[in-house]
Amino acid sequence: MIGMADLIVTANALAQTEERLFPESRHRSKRIRKKLIKRFGGEFAMKPAAFRVGNRLIVHPAIAAELHTHFDQNPKAGTEP
């Protein structure tokens, strides 16, 4: 728990980037596009992210590790004056 927010760590906390995993084409059929998505795992590359939902903070394990190292080095960083 960081500050007053609950910290939930999940590998599903990913956000899409602008980078495409395969080239864009206006002349590609839906069937071929579906096959490419199955082969490459999606149309856009994904990156670790953090989302705030109400009083909860949902983060990817990579970001959680960064948060833990930051708060271990600065124990007073999460407290408010």
Is residue 80 a part of any domain in this protein? no
Is residue 1 a part of any domain in this protein? no
Q: What are 19-39's pLDDT values in tens digits? A: 999 999 999 999 999 999 999
Distance from C-alpha of 7 to C-alpha of 9, rounded to nearest angstrom: 6
Is residue 78 a part of any domain in this protein? no
Is residue 81 a part of any domain in this protein? no
- DSSP symbol at 76: T
- Alpha carbon 61 to its chain's center: 9
Domain of 30 in residue numbering reads as: 6-73
What does pTM read for this prediction?
0.64
Is residue 36 a part of any domain in this protein? yes
Q: Which two tokens stand for residue 52?
A: 């705030």
* Residues 6 or more apart whose Cβ sits within 8 Å of residue 41: 21
Q: What are 42-75's pLDDT values in tens digits? A: 999 999 999 998 888 899 999 988 888 887 777 6
Distance from C-alpha of 43 to C-alpha of 75, rounded to nearest angstrom: 41
Domain count, the chain: 1
Check pLDDT > 50 for residue 1: no
For position 50, what pLDDT does the model report?
92
Is residue 79 a part of any domain in this protein? no
